[in-house]
Chains A and B, each alone.
Chain A
Amino acid sequence: MTTKSIQQPEPGFVHGLFLYLLVFTLWMLLVGNLDTAEMAAGVVVALIVTLASRPHLSILAGLIISPSALLPLLRYLGTFIVALVQANLDMARRVLSPSLPLQPAVVEVETKLKSSLGRLILANSITLTPGTLTVDVQDQVLLVHWVDAPPGSDRVSTTKAITSKFEQHLKGFVL
């Protein structure tokens, strides 16, 4: 997942706050109760973890933190869960059918997402959706292994088929 040669946005104070809340939430989930002493420990631990991981905060910089990002996030999660179930039914059908219907090829798709976080989420989504597996990310281009690539498809049509449904929601909450 190389990110050199693309300009990364700088993480701001809100991103630090976001990470703090994320770490604190993780702490509370692991603790599993609302005990006051545990909460106080969580406040301190989350602060230490946030400060210690500040040099690596740039991964979060692509995140758009605003109320308007919430709706795209929920839409994306919905799309993602539907795609995940579809992927499994599709894979089960292929695996169980006697003729093993496969037409695999490595294809290229383009992304308009600029931040490394956005590309990471996109690549992960592609891996978990029907018949596709992200093999490599090179700047704007993702290499995707596709079990059922239509013959003679070019970059434009594969991009449309694989990434567009995620990207339209993703660009609402990551850069």
Chain B
Amino acid sequence: MRLIADLFLVVGAAFTLFGAIGLIRMPDVYNRIQAGTKAVTLGSLCLLIGIALLYPAWWSKLLVIGVLILITNPLGSSTIARALLKAGVKPWSKASVSQPGEADR
């Protein structure tokens, strides 16, 4: 049990690390949101599962935390992305280096 819990904790930490690397490497804000949202959501869920295996008595509160993360994380990301689009931030695209505005509406 201890081993499985540790495995979940390591996987969760790894996904969170990938998310952080994504934040640095991605070319524009929309891609950064993508990397951040997905990696951190699954990363924190894995961490929660790991903790639940280590401390089974906490399962109910960990479940509530997990569900709230699942609902609010994508919602927050979408809202940030929407605000950026309304503020006129153009998405980066490979084509836009030579011909801007091809991909957006």
Contacts and interface: CB of A to CB of B under 8 A. Distances in A.
Contacts of B74: 123-125, 127-128, 134
B21 A96 contact: yes
Chain B contact residues: over half helix, strand or loop, or mixed? helix
Interface residues of A, number: 37
Interface string B20-38: 0110011110110111011
Nearest to A92: B18
B82 A30 contact: no
15 contacts: A29-B60, A88-B15, A91-B35, A92-B39, A96-B18, A96-B21, A103-B94, A104-B30, A104-B31, A105-B91, A105-B103, A133-B33, A133-B78, A135-B82, A145-B31
Interface of A: 26, 28-30, 32, 84-85, 87-88, 91-92, 94-96, 100, 102-106, 108, 120, 123-125, 127-128, 131-136, 143, 145, 147, 149
Interface of B: 15, 18-19, 21-22, 25-28, 30-31, 33-35, 37-39, 41-43, 57-58, 60-61, 63-64, 70-71, 73-75, 77-78, 81-82, 85, 91-94, 103-105
